[in-house]
Amino acid sequence: MASASLLKSSPVLDKSEWVKGQSLRQPSVSYVRCHPTSPSALNVRASSYADELVKTAKSIASPGRGILAMDESNATCGKRLASIGLENTEANRQAYRTLLVSAPGLGQYISGAILFEETLYQSTVDGKKIVDVLVGQNIIPGIKVDKGLVPLAGSNDESWCQGLDGLASRSAAYYQQGARFAKWRTVVSIPNGPSALAVKEAAWGLARYAAISQDNGLVPIVEPEILLDGDHGIERTFEVAQKVWAEVFFYLAENNVFFEGILLKPSMVTPGAECKDRATPAQVADYTLKLLHRRIPPAVPGIMFLSGGQSEVEATLNLNAMNQGPNPWHVSFSYARALQNTCLKKWGGRPENVKEAQEALLLRAKNNSLAQLGKYTGDGESEEAKKELFVKGYVY
Exactly one of 201, 223, 225, 312 is catalytic; name it: 223
The pairing of strands 149-151 and 159-161 is antiparallel
Q: 36 and 129 share a domain? A: no
- Does 211 map to a domain? yes
Name the residue among 383, 368, 375, 230 with its Cα closest to residue 307: 368
Q: 125 and 159 share a domain? A: yes
CATH number at residue 213: 3.20.20.70
Q: 39 and 53 share a domain? A: no
Question: How far apart are the C-alpha atoms of 303 and 286, rounded to whole Å?
Answer: 15
Q: 38 and 122 share a domain? A: no
- Supply the range of the domain harboring residue 354: 49-386
pTM (two decimals): 0.86
Widest Cα–Cα separation across the chain = 80
State how far Cα 354 lies from the chain centre: 28
Q: 10 and 145 share a domain? A: no
Q: 192 and 268 share a domain? A: yes
pLDDT of residue 31: 42
Q: 281 and 372 share a domain? A: yes
Q: Is 292 exposed, middle or buried (0-12, 13-18, 19+ CB in 10 A)?
A: buried
DSSP character for 359? H
Quick check: is 247 catalytic?
no
- Does 393 map to a domain? no
Q: 296 and 370 share a domain? A: yes
pLDDT of residue 387: 67
- Does 123 map to a domain? yes
Three-state DSSP class for 264? strand
pLDDT tens by residue, the chain, 396 residues: 444 433 333 344 344 334 443 444 444 444 444 444 444 444 555 568 999 999 999 999 999 999 999 999 899 899 999 999 999 999 999 999 999 999 999 999 999 999 999 999 999 999 999 999 999 999 999 999 999 999 999 999 999 999 999 999 999 999 999 999 999 999 999 998 899 999 999 999 999 999 999 999 999 999 999 998 899 999 999 999 999 999 999 999 999 999 999 999 999 999 998 899 999 999 999 999 999 999 999 999 999 999 987 889 999 999 999 999 999 999 999 999 999 999 999 999 999 999 999 999 999 999 999 999 999 998 877 777 766 654 555 555
Question: How far apart are the C-alpha atoms of 131 and 105, rounded to whole Å?
Answer: 16
- Does 392 map to a domain? no
Quick check: is 265 catalytic?
yes
Q: 38 and 57 share a domain? A: no
Q: Is 168 exposed, middle or buried (0-12, 13-18, 19+ CB in 10 A)?
A: middle
Q: 12 and 147 share a domain? A: no
pLDDT of residue 38: 44
pLDDT of residue 261: 98
Question: How far apart are the C-alpha atoms of 221 and 263, rounded to whole Å?
Answer: 5
Q: 108 and 18 share a domain? A: no
Give the H or E element holding residue 188: strand 181-188
Beta strands in 289-391 (DSSP E): 302-305, 330-335
- Does 72 map to a domain? yes
Question: How far apart are the C-alpha atoms of 249 and 253, rounded to whole Å?
Answer: 6
Q: 160 and 286 share a domain? A: yes
pLDDT of residue 384: 77
Exactly one of 265, 314, 346, 381 is catalytic; name it: 265
> At 23, which amino acid appears?
S
Number of domains in the chain: 2
pLDDT of residue 388: 65
Please give the torsion angle defined by the CA atoms of residues 255, 258, 264 and 269, in that order, rounded to the nearest 10 degrees.
70
DSSP character for 106? G
